[in-house]
Homo-oligomer: A and B are copies of this chain.
Amino acid sequence: MTARITDVARAAGVSASTVSRALRGRPGVSEEVRAQIAAVADQLGYTASQSASSLASGRTYTIGVVAPYIGRWFFGTVLDAAEQVFSAAGYDVLLYNLGSPEARKRFFTRLPVRKRVDAVLSLLIPDPDESAALRSLGVPLASTVGGAREGFTVVGIDDRAGAESAVRHLVNLGHRRIGMISGASGPLHWTTPVDRREAYLSVLADAGIAHDPALEADGGYTVEGGEQAMTRLLAASRPPTAVFAQSDEMAMGAMRALRRHRLRVPEDVSVVGFDDHELAEVVGLTTVAQPVAGQGTEAARLLLRQLDEPAEPDAQPPADKVRMPIRLVLRETTAPPSPRGPQ
């Protein structure tokens, strides 16, 4: 049916080994023969069987990418960027979408990537057990989205600094009642929500503003959740005049809730997000910008570099920690508090 290496060998009048060497650019084949083999292979539409090749060589030329919620802008963008780097380097990408707890559990117990991939890029932060499972694969590991983890190369941002700049901006505008819509640390054991919250508390403290627990609500990192969280904040006895949302999607949800309550942004309530979502500019959202695609690209590159290195067993796993730059982008959803307040 489809051509095998022996077909090419016979047609080119050489042995299978020579075909193998020629097609993979290994030394030890005359240019003349190489060209001849390439022509024959091309004409026969020959591609080496991945299974056979990897069985014999031990290499798969495949990267496993583990992500939660690919449909979410952030992860989709990171995945997109990482995939481009991998495929340009000749690697295929095996995708595992671990949005649901069942999918996640299934993945980590069965570990379908075992013997299937040369490396794993995780877009979520595996918890300690999961990390250990991944380490047991014995391949290079990388991860984006904060939180150092043993054995992982991690590419992320300074969540504290980002959140601080956002909250400080609100303080500088004169706000005193500043709410926060956070993301549950929940099943994802990542430090991001924690770090951003600490930054929030710290800036408030520096400004001499007492912390009011009624001004914090969980938005679960979704638009819908952000809307509900904002609604809860508005139900407080003294609602906030400004809100820091830990993601742009929650910020947009909050804006929607505000509109429903006939409150204007920023006249009645200021809103700051985090991420610089593709559509943040469309809605004029002030936000903390981070290089999202950049993190995918960088993590992918670091992983490939480890694959290229001759794997000296004495060298420690290069637990690099790369910090990508962030910056506060001022748009139209923040302003000084209204003298009358949001009521």
- A residues sitting closer than 8 Å to B (CB atoms) are 1-2, 45, 47, 49-52, 54-55, 60, 62, 65, 69-73, 76-77, 79-81, 83-84, 87-88, 92-97, 99-100, 103, 106-107, 110-112, 114-116, 136, 138, 223, 252-253, 255-256, 259, 278-279, 281-284, 293
Whether B73 lies near A70 (C-beta < 8 A) is: no
Most interface-central of A2, A69, A95 (chain B CB within 10 A)? A95
How distant is the Cα of A79 from the Cα of B97 in the complex, in angstroms?
9
Chain B residues, Cβ within 8 Å of A293: 71
Whether B252 lies near A282 (C-beta < 8 A) is: yes
A12–chain B nearest beta-carbon distance, Å? 19
Whether A77 lies near B84 (C-beta < 8 A) is: no
* Contact sample, A vs B, 30 pairs, CB 8 Å cutoff: A2-B114, A2-B138, A47-B114, A49-B115, A50-B112, A50-B116, A51-B54, A55-B55, A65-B95, A71-B76, A71-B77, A71-B80, A71-B293, A79-B95, A80-B99, A83-B97, A87-B96, A87-B103, A87-B106, A92-B96, A92-B112, A93-B97, A95-B95, A223-B279, A223-B281, A223-B282, A252-B279, A256-B281, A279-B279, A282-B283
Whether B70 lies near A115 (C-beta < 8 A) is: no
Q: Which secondary structure dominates chain A's binding surface?
A: mixed
- Chain B residue at minimum C-beta to C-beta distance from A78: B71
Most interface-central of A47, A65, A92, A279 (chain B CB within 10 A)? A279
How distant is the Cα of A99 from the Cα of B83 in the complex, in angstroms?
10
Chain B residues, Cβ within 8 Å of A114: 2, 47
Chain B residues, Cβ within 8 Å of A52: 51, 55
Whether A71 lies near B71 (C-beta < 8 A) is: no
- Chain B residue at minimum C-beta to C-beta distance from A53: B51
How distant is the Cα of A204 from the Cα of B98 in the complex, in angstroms?
46
How distant is the Cα of A282 from the Cα of B255 in the complex, in angstroms?
8
- Chain B residue at minimum C-beta to C-beta distance from A54: B51
Query: Given A55-B51, A111-B47, A281-B256, are A97 and B106 neighbors across the interface (CB < 8 Å)?
Result: no
- Chain B residue at minimum C-beta to C-beta distance from A3: B114
Whether A60 lies near B70 (C-beta < 8 A) is: no
Chain B residues, Cβ within 8 Å of A60: 51
How distant is the Cα of A284 from the Cα of B256 in the complex, in angstroms?
9
Which of B87, B138, B284 lies in contact with A97, CB distance below 8 A? Answer: B87
A67–chain B nearest beta-carbon distance, Å? 9
